[in-house]
């Protein structure tokens, strides 16, 4: 089963500095976790369409995890079906900050379909052959395609996508995403679509950024969007955003564990204990988070036989 949880079978991502940090629970050079660069996995939800209000939750990682997190997001859907616990967040469009991840992504990998046995060209041909563009389900079907993508965007383009989603501008959102794929025929067929059953675009999106403050500030200043972390009276209650982030985080850390297990079998790297990949070690010891996740005790009870 570990192969289905492996981030990369061919490249060992847990070596050198990252390996030592996982063992010791300290960043390289014993750096203060609060002063280290971090990457943020962010989920937005619409709180109020009329007042143009978005709420967001995030979970952060020291940037030493950037490469493995990127590879995890590229391969995540491959093994979703292996464990029902991790299927809850579903598939999603993953939008990464271009200035931060561009050097980590090889040429031609900017747009990735992340589900195994999922052929985008075949899916596009099905849309054409079945004449779905004359069907009211055409736009929702395109979003099923979009929610398998991993793309690179700068902060302003991210803000633009959030603005389009907030306005329920389905056609504009599709054009912004699929224009990069050069599926112009599919985009042109959008003109025949008039009545679309309303649905939330933003529920299928996750943003990976280094400059979270810059993204929030850009939304406020340049797109007139009210952005906050939610009503104060409800911040103590578990919601769909932090639930999804907690599940994704558990799955990512679990995948790191099996990635190390896989490469330790070939004696390329020492095998680490599961506790080295715990919430406490990665987020509290290395990331400087003050409080335990509400899912910490639950995640520690999950065991997969290898």
Tell me which of 261 and 219 has the higher pLDDT: 219
Indicate the average pLDDT of the chain: 76
Instruction: Quote the number of domains for the chain.
Output: 1
Q: What's the pLDDT score for residue 124? A: 56
Reported as a single tens digit per residue, the pLDDT across 1-21 is 334 455 666 778 887 889 999
Tell me which of 189 and 282 has the higher pLDDT: 282
Ranking 17-26, 83-92, 220-229, 262-271 by mean pLDDT, the lowest is 83-92
Q: What's the pLDDT score for residue 289? A: 85
Let me know if residue 245 belongs to a domain: yes
Let me know if residue 95 belongs to a domain: yes
Let me know if residue 50 belongs to a domain: yes
Rounded Cα gap, residues 213 and 97, in angstroms: 13
Let me know if residue 226 belongs to a domain: yes
In this prediction, residue 125 has a pLDDT band, given cuts at 50, 70 and 90, of low
Reported as a single tens digit per residue, the pLDDT across 197-213 is 788 899 889 999 999 99
**Environment class of 13 (CB within 10 Å of its CB; exposed 0-12, middle 13-18, buried 19+):** buried
Q: Is the pLDDT of residue 37 over 60?
A: yes
| Cβ density class 210-235: b for 16+ within 10 Å, e for less | bbbeebbebbeeebebebeebeeeee
Rounded Cα gap, residues 259 and 19, in angstroms: 12
Tell me which of 138 and 5 has the higher pLDDT: 138
Identify whether the C-beta of residue 264 lies closer than 8 Å to the C-beta of residue 13: no
Q: Is the pLDDT of residue 272 over 70?
A: yes
Tell me which of 20 and 109 has the higher pLDDT: 20
Average pLDDT for residues 37-56, to the nearest whole number? Answer: 93
Q: Quote the tokens at residue 97.
A: 């900050």
Q: Is the pLDDT of residue 33 over 60?
A: yes
Q: Is the pLDDT of residue 62 over 90?
A: yes
Tell me which of 240 and 109 has the higher pLDDT: 240
Give me the domain span that covers residue 54.
Answer: 2-299
Strand stretches in 215-273, DSSP E: 226-228
Average pLDDT for residues 237-265, to the nearest whole number? Answer: 85
Let me know if residue 305 belongs to a domain: no
Q: What's the pLDDT score for residue 233? A: 65
In this prediction, residue 182 has a pLDDT band, given cuts at 50, 70 and 90, of low
Let me know if residue 304 belongs to a domain: no
Q: Quote the tokens at residue 259.
A: 């990635």
Reported as a single tens digit per residue, the pLDDT across 165-180 is 999 888 889 888 877 5
Let me know if residue 285 belongs to a domain: yes
Tell me which of 35 and 50 has the higher pLDDT: 50
Average pLDDT for residues 256-275, to the nearest whole number? Answer: 85
Q: What's the pLDDT score for residue 77? A: 53
Percent of the chain surpassing pLDDT 70: 67
Q: Is the pLDDT of residue 67 over 80?
A: yes
**Helices 66-75 and 240-264, packing angle to 10 deg:** 100
Q: What's the pLDDT score for residue 306? A: 30
**What CA–CA distances, in Å, run from 283 to 33, 34, 162?**
9, 11, 28
């Amino acid at each position: 089963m570990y192969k289905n949880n492996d981030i990369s079978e061919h490249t060992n991502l847990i070596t050198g500095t990252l390996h030592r940090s996982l063992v010791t629970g300290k960043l390289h050079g014993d750096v203060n976790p609060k002063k280290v660069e971090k990457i943020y996995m962010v989920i937005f939800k619409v709180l109020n369409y009329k007042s143009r209000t978005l709420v967001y939750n995030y979970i952060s990682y020291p940037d030493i995890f950037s490469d493995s997190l990127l590879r995890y997001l590229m391969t995540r859907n491959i093994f979703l079906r292996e464990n029902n616990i991790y299927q809850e967040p579903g598939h999603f469009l993953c939008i990464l900050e271009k200035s931060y991840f561009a050097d980590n992504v090889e040429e031609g990998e900017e747009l990735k379909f992340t589900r195994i046995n999922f052929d985008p060209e075949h899916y596009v041909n099905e849309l054409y052959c079945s004449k779905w563009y004359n069907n009211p389900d055409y736009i929702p079907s395109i979003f099923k395609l979009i929610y398998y993508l991993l793309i690179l965007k700068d902060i302003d383009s991210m803000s633009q996508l959030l603005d389009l989603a907030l306005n329920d501008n389905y056609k504009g959102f599709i054009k912004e995403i699929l224009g990069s794929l050069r599926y112009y025929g599919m985009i042109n067929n959008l003109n025949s679509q008039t009545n679309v059953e309303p649905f939330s675009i933003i529920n299928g999106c996750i943003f990976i950024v280094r400059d979270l403050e810059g993204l929030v500030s850009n939304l406020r200043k340049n797109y007139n969007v009210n952005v906050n972390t939610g009503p104060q009276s409800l911040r103590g209650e578990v919601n769909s955003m932090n639930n999804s982030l907690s599940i994704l985080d558990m799955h990512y850390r679990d995948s790191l564990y099996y990635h190390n297990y896989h490469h330790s079998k070939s004696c390329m790297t020492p095998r680490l204990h599961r506790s080295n990949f715990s919430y406490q070690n990665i987020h509290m010891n290395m990331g400087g988070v003050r409080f335990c996740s509400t899912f910490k005790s639950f995640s520690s009870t999950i065991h997969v036989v290898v």
